[in-house]
Amino acid sequence: MVIVTRVLMEIDTLLKKLSPENYRTDAMRTLIVIPCYNARSTLEDVIKRTPKEFRAGLLVVDDGSTDDTINVLEKNDIKFIRHQRNLGYGAAQKTGFRFAVRNGYDLVVILHADGQYPPEKIQSLISPIIKEEADIVSGSRMLKESNRREMPILRNVGNRFLSLLENLALGTSLNCYHCGFRAYSKKFLESVNFTLNSNGFEFDSEILFQAVSKGFRIKQIPIDAHYGKEISYLKPLTYGLSILRIVSNYTFCRLHITKSEQYTGRLEICLHPS
């Protein structure tokens, strides 16, 4: 009886280890892409805060930095790809996505270099994809009342207004379209032509529009965001107008007034160097 009990306990332990909650990077290859531009003062802390099991999967895309970001990368022995000139936040993501697809990664996480988003939450971010509950997972600063109170007032109002417009256009109920802390499945990245998206900050909204247009599942998880002395290169007015353009273009496409490969194209084009 004792032997049987011990065997059952060992089987139970094995099953727990094999459960989706315990799948980590050894089960699904995860690439952590960090787009950065002149991030010398914050990047090293983000790297150190990244859980050890994910550090081997770090890839920094240096978008033409003019400070000594490169020294931080070499000091910490981090894989990196460097743009010769500043192309934009969206362009840095495209570079990371291409690298992931060409090298057979199953998951891609986007993590900012300024420390605003918590690298400690990477496992929570990718878990819904591992458990096949979602194709894209986005952090959201709007799911917690405390975060909404801490967010700068103009950013809070702008975020809510633009997200409302995007929800109306897409028929969705996401509470935030503008958080850059995200995870994407390989299946999704191979199914959309993200190279047609903007090279700027509006890339984050465009790729969600592509996801909804093709029926992919999006899930949000609550995260804390840090609002400190990090430098932001986002211009609010320009960004807001860009989101309005995306909403109108998508609406015209959905009503068959115009056609756009952005919402119907697949990945093939981005498997080749641009």
CATH at 251: 3.90.550.10
d(CA 125, CA 31): 13
Q: Is residue 12 part of a domain?
A: no
Q: Residue 256: give the domain boundaries.
A: 23-271
Q: Does residue 189 form part of some domain?
A: yes
Q: How many CB atoms lie within 10 A of CB 84?
A: 6
**Residue 6's pLDDT is what?**
56
**What total of structural domains would you count in the chain?**
1
- DSSP-derived letter for residue 269 is G
Q: In three state form, how does the secondary structure of 217-254 look?
A: CEEEEECCCCCCCCCCCCCHHHHHHHHHHHHHHHHHHH
Residue 266 lies in a domain: yes
d(CA 114, CA 141): 16
The answer to the question of residue 210 being in a domain is yes
How far lies 54's CA from each of 23, 25, 104, in Å?
Answer: 13, 7, 16
Determine the 3-state secondary structure of 12 from DSSP.
Answer: helix
Q: Tens-digit pLDDT profile for the chain (274 aa)? A: 555 445 445 545 433 443 434 434 447 899 999 999 999 999 999 999 999 999 999 999 999 999 999 999 999 999 999 999 999 999 999 999 999 999 999 999 999 999 999 999 999 999 999 999 999 999 998 766 655 566 667 777 877 899 899 999 999 989 888 899 999 999 999 999 999 999 999 999 999 999 999 999 999 999 987 655 555 667 778 889 999 999 999 999 888 898 888 987 776 544 444 3
Identify whether 143 is part of a domain: yes
Q: What is the pLDDT of residue 8?
A: 42
Asked if residue 87 is part of any domain, the answer here is yes
> Would you state the structure tokens that stand for residue 137, as one six-digit string?
């997972």
Whether 11 is covered by a domain: the verdict is no
Q: Give the residue from 178, 164, 166 showing the smallest Cα distance to 239.
A: 178
Cα gap 213→210, rounded to integer Å: 5
For the entire predicted model, the pTM comes to: 0.83
With residue 138 as reference, give the H or E element that holds it: strand 136-140
Note whether residue 227 is domain-resident.
yes
